[in-house]
Amino acid sequence: MNEARVIAPEELIPSVPETIFLFRSCTGSMEYPGTENAIKEVLDKLGINIVMDPDQTCCSGYLLTCSAHKPELSLAVTARNLAIVEQKNLDTYMFCNGCYGYNRELAHILKHNPAYMQMANDIIAKQGYHYEGKTGIFHVQELWYRLKKELVARAVVPLNGLKVGVHYGCHYLAQQYQILDDGGYPTFQEELLAAFGAEPVFYKERQACCGYSVGRGFTHKESVVQPHLFKKFKSAKEAGVDLMTTTCPGCNVGLDREQPNLAKRYGEEFDIPVIDLSQLLGLALGVPLNKLGFEANTVPLDKVIEKLGLKKGE
Amino acid sequence: MMPREKYKDKAENLYKQVDAYNLVENLETCLACGKCVGNCPVASLNPSYNPRQIISDVMSGEARRWLDSEEIWRCFWCAGCYTVCPNDIHFPLLMMQIRYMAVENNWGLKYIMPFKRFALRAREDGLTFAPSEKGREKIKRYRRNLGVSEWPEISAKAQAEYKELFDLTGTTEFLEKLSDEAERPVRFKYLEGRIVGE
Ligand code: SF4
Ligand code: SF4
């Protein structure tokens, strides 16, 4: 551990970009399309432009972790997608910890192994691309924290008294270098939410994994993942969490969609809605509810909306 | 009484064989400190799963024990182990490669077979986990109600090139060959942290 792990937001993102490349997330755009829309709405309020590109594909990381394809494919896909961003001279912002983690990890491997870089570039050259390793890879939440003051200045719905339990997600925290916070005990999202008047709750199992890959994806092992999630939700409930936030649509699936199954197995309803941090910022900044897509959520948000004094249809 | 270790087929340089992609490289710096175990959600629920033990066995050439084990299919790939490791040992990248080795030997096929279909589907869609036509209706409705395009905006060019990358990297072939006919059974190697006698 000879490199500093934590980086200050002003150092990570020295000048606030005028335009960012927003990396489409498969899970995000299909399971919770409101997340991408919330990001667009909030950035619009801040005057930051978004570029997306229909030529971008899936990051291909998830199926790699399922051993369903070999690293060569994911390295080539990463090089191709990032080459598209590089052509535009922009930095890449992800809103899925999967996209973020896999792109960072695979780009790191490419940049530190000339042979892999060569291999990937030889393959994508057939499609007319070349990856240099220039584009920066960031998570949208890093931009939120960098713009804390600007965001708070535009808040119109105070989050006063809302007890929010943050879920950071493993694949953000596991990117050990040059992330905003200590992967072992992060607090920056709590700081951000407190600035909006919310009451962040440090529940005991805050850093426990969402279980998505085991429960819904990889080994379909309910017997492993449900006891794990039960522990997590139990500790959140006991700490009085009203709302859980994620920064990854995959985590959101794991935590939101799995609650009815937990209720079936354990006979205990947790009833804790789970939304993306960007959607909560959208609420605070007065983005209309119908632009935030909460109808895609399994656990309804009614109580939270009522607590914030918002009406459906607003 | 703890069962004693017996000689099993020790594979010299197993570590280098497992880490065929040279992605881990620093396994010998493992301090056996156990921080990874303490931060592992699977280990906390299931004492037979132990990343430190897996590293130690891989280093000492205990080949068979993990390749035909149930344990390697429990890892969440959350990288909690890597996050706390004082020597930055990238255990998930080791696990990924142990699994490839297991699958090459026909162990654990049942765990990756469900993904054959998803991967072949992703190869067409350029997106992972897109549902079948029926499942798409709900997505389209939610997206319509948001006032955005009915389907994620992915171009035909992106889909064709993504598919081509599967072919160019040998992934299509790898997937088509996957079959569970040759499946060999896996079982727990440790129970409650103890070695199961062989
Ligand atoms: S945390 Fe790292 S050094 Fe410690 S036992 Fe685990 S792998 Fe080895
Ligand atoms: S990646 Fe696997 S071994 Fe590491 S902490 Fe997560 S479940 Fe445990």
| Residue closest to A186 by CA, chosen among A199, A121, A200 | A200
Q: Which ligand 2 atom is nearest residue B79's CA?
A: 1
Tens of pLDDT along B150-163? 999 999 999 999 99
Distance of residue A164 Cα from the nearest chain B Cα, in angstroms: 23
Largest CA distance in chain B: 66
Asked, for residue B79, whether it belongs to a domain, the answer is yes
Query: How much is the average pLDDT of A114-143?
Result: 97
> What pLDDT is attached to residue A179?
81
Same domain for B99 and B20?
Answer: yes
Q: How many residues does chain B have?
A: 198
Helix (H, G, I), strand (E, B) or coil at B43: helix
A64 and A45 in contact (C-beta within 8 Å)?
Answer: no
* B16/B93 same-domain check: yes
Residue B113 and residue B100 share a domain = no
Residues A141-169: b if buried by 16+ CB within 10 A, e if exposed: bbbbbbbeeebeeebebebeebbbbbbbb
Q: How would you classify the pairing of strands A49-51 and B190-191?
A: unpaired
- Give A181's pLDDT tier (boundaries 50, 70, 90): confident
Is residue B95 a part of any domain in this protein? yes
pTM of the model: 0.93
Whole-number CA gyration radius for chain A: 19
| Separation between Cα atoms, residue A261 and residue A270, nearest integer Å | 11
Answer yes or no: do A211 and B41 touch at CB < 8 A. Answer: yes
Indicate which atom in ligand 1 lies nearest the CA of residue B84. Answer: 1
- For residue B109, the one-letter residue type is L
Let me know whether B84 and B51 are in one domain. Answer: yes
- Distance from the Cα of B6 to chain A's closest Cα (Å) equals 30
Cβ pair A28, A249 in contact under 8 A: yes
CATH at residue B32: 1.10.1060.10
Query: Is A66 in contact with B128 (CB distance < 8 Å)?
Result: no
Chain B residue numbers with beta carbons less than 8 Å from the beta carbon of A208 are 41
Going by C-alpha positions, the residue among A172, A164, A138, A143 that lies closest to residue A247 is A172
- A197 or B194, greater pLDDT: A197
pLDDT above 70: percentage of residues in chain A: 95
Pick the residue whose CA is nearest to atom 8 on ligand 1. Answer: B30
Rounded to the nearest angstrom, the minimum Cα separation between A177 and chain B is 10
Residues whose CB is less than 8 angstroms from the CB of residue B121 and which lie 6 or more positions away in sequence, other chains included: B130
Query: Greatest CA separation found in chain A?
Result: 57
Assess whether B92 and B137 both reside in one domain: no
A303 pLDDT tier (thresholds 50, 70, 90): very high
Find out whether A218 and A250 touch, Cβ atoms under 8 Å: no
> Does residue B30 line the site of ligand 1, with CB under 6 A?
yes
Residue B59 forms part of a structural domain: yes
Question: Is the CB of B31 inside a 6 Å radius of any atom of ligand 1?
Answer: yes
> B141 and B124: one domain?
yes
> Considering only CA atoms, which residue is closest to atom 6 of ligand 1?
B36
Calculate ∠ Cα A137-A140-A141, nearest 5°. 120
- Distance from Cα A209 to the centre of ligand 2, integer Å: 10
Strand A19-23 vs strand A49-51: parallel, antiparallel, or unpaired?
A: parallel
The reply to whether B11 falls in a domain is yes
Classify residue A128 by burial, with Cβ atoms within 10 Å: 0-12, 13-18, 19+.
exposed
Residues in chain B where the model's pLDDT stays below 70: 1-10, 63, 192-195, 197-198
**Roughly what angle, to the nearest 10 degrees, separates helices B156-168 and A114-125?**
130
Q: Is residue B65 part of a domain?
A: yes
Cα–Cα distance, A42 to A189 (Å, whole number): 17
In A47-98, where do the E strands start and end? 49-51, 92-94
Residue A2 pLDDT more than 60? no
Residue B76 lies in a domain: yes
> Judging by beta carbons within 10 Å of its beta carbon (0-12, 13-18, 19+), is residue B25 exposed, middle or buried?
middle
Which residues of chain A are within 8 Å of residue B164 when distances are taken between CB atoms? 126-127
Cβ-based neighbour number of residue B159 at 10 Å: 18
With beta carbons less than 8 A apart as the criterion, state whether B78 and B86 touch. Answer: no
Whether the Cβ atoms of residue A155 and residue A285 lie closer than 8 Å to each other = yes
What domain range includes position B161? Answer: 109-182
Structure tokens at A227: 């006891």
**Looking at the domain assignment, is residue B188 inside a domain?**
no
| Domain identity same for B71 and B129 | no
pLDDT the model gives residue B159: 97
Report whether pLDDT(A143) > 70. Answer: yes
Q: How many residues does chain A have?
A: 314
Tokens of A42: 């909030």
Is residue B34 within 6 Å of ligand 1 at its C-beta?
A: yes
Angle of helix B133-146 relative to helix A33-46, nearest 10 degrees, comes to 20
Do B32 and B82 lie in one domain? The reply is yes
Q: Pick from A31, A54, A183: which is nearest to B83 by CB?
A: A183
pLDDT digits (tens, 9 = 90+) for A241-297: 999 999 999 999 999 999 999 999 999 999 999 999 999 999 999 999 999 999 999
H helix count then E strand count, chain A: 17, 8
Each residue's pLDDT tens digit, A252-262: 999 999 999 99
Give residue B115's pLDDT. 87
Whether B170 maps to a domain, the answer reads yes
pLDDT at A194 over 70: yes
Mean pLDDT of A128-144: 96
Question: Which residues 31-60 of chain A have a CB within 8 Å of chain B?
Answer: 31, 33-34, 36-37, 52, 54-58, 60
The model's pLDDT over A65-111, given as tens digits with 9 standing for 90+, comes to 888 888 999 999 999 999 999 999 999 999 999 999 999 999 999 99
Question: What is the pLDDT averaged over residues A126-147?
Answer: 96
Residue B83 and residue B7 share a domain:
yes
* Cα distances (angstroms) measured from residue B126 to each of A18, A65, A99, A103: 29, 17, 14, 16
Q: Is B120 found in the same domain as B82?
A: no
**Ligand nearest to the Cα of B92, by number:** 2
Q: Are residues B140 and B118 in the same domain?
A: yes
**Span A13-25, pLDDT tens digits:** 999 999 999 999 9
Is the pLDDT reported for residue A48 higher than 80?
A: yes
User: What is the distance between the alpha carbons of residues A174 and A102, in angstroms, rounded to a whole number?
Assistant: 11
Identify which ligand lies nearest to the alpha carbon of B36. 1
- Please give the distance, rounded to the nearest whole angstrom, from the Cα atom of residue A264 to the centre of ligand 2: 27
Q: Name the DSSP letter for residue A253.
A: I
Q: What's the pLDDT score for residue A3?
A: 57
Structure tokens at A178: 């040059």
Ligand 1 binding pocket includes B87 (Cβ within 6 Å)? yes
CA-nearest of A200, A213, A211, A248 to A233 is A211
Which two three-digit tokens encode residue A39? 């990001």
CB neighbour class for B79 (10 Å; exposed up to 12, middle 13-18, buried from 19): buried
State both tokens at A248: 């990854």
Secondary element (H or E) of residue A246: strand A243-246
Q: Domain tally for chain B?
A: 2
3-class DSSP string for B148-174: CCCCCCCCHHHHHHHHHHHHHCCHHHH
State the distance from the centre of ligand 2 to the C-alpha of A282, rounded, in angstroms: 33
Of B79, B148, B164, the CB nearest to A170: B79
Which domains are present in chain A?
Answer: 9-140 (1.20.1050.140), 150-307 (3.40.50.11810)
Atom of ligand 2 nearest to the CA of B54: 3
Asked if residue B8 and residue B83 are part of one domain, the reply reads yes
Last residue of a domain, one of B54, B88, B104: B104
